[in-house]
């Protein structure tokens, strides 16, 4: 027990909490403190890979930054990898080396984060990027609005998984044929699943 107690106290200190927090109930902790305790638990077995599913989605921006910095510090110290699942590309941009964009269980785009977060993009990635708020009020927003409803995970598609909502849909080919995986032309593993040729995507998105 003494060894377990010492390990728990060590983990509390590692995530920036006083060991006295071990005696507190969850209801006595703030959202940020709860996330820090969860992170401490995740690292308790010294894992090589940590799966973080919406790890900061319920936190305000300042607390998000604290938790992300903590995750980054732990990674530098221990050399572990993260599988970080999030709907927020701003958060993903901060933490990820590689990004996989998934829609309805299908891979829309994959590659190094710097490539995925710049053009050309899959139309779904393009919509996600355009939805991010721009802090400069003088910059005109070019938000790409998606019509229709998000499909259920049980739905299957004879053609493109994104055809029913795609603002750049070509026509019947998108309804009838699965999209090919295209090299985005950078030679770094950046792949886009779309019927629109990469050069055309780049032209309409620029």
Count of CB atoms situated within 10 Å of the CB of 37: 19
**pLDDT for residue 136 is more than 70:** no
Question: Confidence class of residue 40 from pLDDT cuts 50, 70 and 90?
Answer: confident
- How confident is the model over 94-115, as pLDDT tens digits? 889 999 999 999 999 999 999 9
Lowest mean pLDDT among 56-60, 65-69, 132-136, 175-179: 132-136
* Domain range list for the chain: 1-90, 97-206
Lowest mean pLDDT among 30-39, 141-150, 171-180, 183-192: 141-150
Q: CATH: 3.40.47.10, 3.40.640.10, 3.40.50.300, 3.40.50.2300. Which one for 1-90?
A: 3.40.50.300
155-167 in b/e form (b: 16+ CB < 10 A) is: eebebbbbbbbbe
- Quote the tokens at residue 202: 């780049």
Radius of gyration in angstroms for the set of CA atoms belonging to the chain, rounded to a whole number = 21
Report pLDDT for 169: 94
- Quote the DSSP letter at residue 82: E
Helix (H) or strand (E) holding 99: strand 98-103
**pLDDT for residue 132 is more than 80:** no
Return d(Cα 42, Cα 19) in angstroms, integer.
Answer: 17
Euclidean distance between the first and final Cα of the chain, in Å?
61
- Cα 149 to Cα 14, 56, 146, 154, 164: the distances in Å are 43, 26, 9, 14, 9
In terms of residues, how long is the chain?
A: 206
**pLDDT for residue 141 is more than 70:** no
**pLDDT for residue 142 is more than 90:** no
**pLDDT for residue 206 is more than 80:** no
Q: Single out the residue of 62, 55, 58 nearest to residue 36, CA to CA.
A: 55
Contact 83, 52 (CB under 8 A): yes
- Cα 108 to Cα 8, 124, 173, 189: the distances in Å are 41, 7, 17, 14
In angstroms, how far is CA 77 from the centroid of its own chain? 22
Lowest mean pLDDT among 79-93, 140-154, 185-199: 140-154
């Amino acid at each position: 027990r003494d060894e377990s107690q010492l390990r728990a106290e060590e983990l509390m200190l590692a995530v920036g909490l006083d060991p006295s927090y071990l005696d507190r109930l969850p209801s006595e902790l703030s959202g940020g403190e709860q996330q820090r305790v969860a992170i401490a638990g995740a690292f308790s077995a010294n894992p090589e890979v940590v799966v973080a599913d919406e790890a900061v989605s319920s936190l305000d921006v300042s607390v998000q930054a604290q938790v992300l910095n903590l995750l980054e510090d732990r990674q530098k110290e221990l050399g572990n990898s993260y599988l970080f699942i999030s709907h927020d590309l701003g958060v993903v941009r901060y933490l990820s080396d590689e990004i996989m964009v998934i829609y309805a269980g299908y891979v829309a785009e994959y590659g190094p984060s710097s490539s995925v977060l710049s053009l050309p993009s899959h139309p779904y990635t393009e919509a996600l990027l355009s939805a991010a708020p721009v802090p400069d009020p003088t910059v005109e927003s070019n938000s790409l609005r998606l019509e229709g409803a998000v499909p259920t995970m049980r739905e299957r598609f004879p053609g493109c998984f994104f055809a029913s909502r795609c603002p750049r849909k070509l026509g019947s080919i998108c309804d009838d044929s699965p999209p090919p995986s295209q090299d985005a032309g950078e030679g770094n593993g950046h792949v886009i699943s779309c019927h629109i040729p990469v050069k055309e995507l780049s032209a309409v998105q620029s």
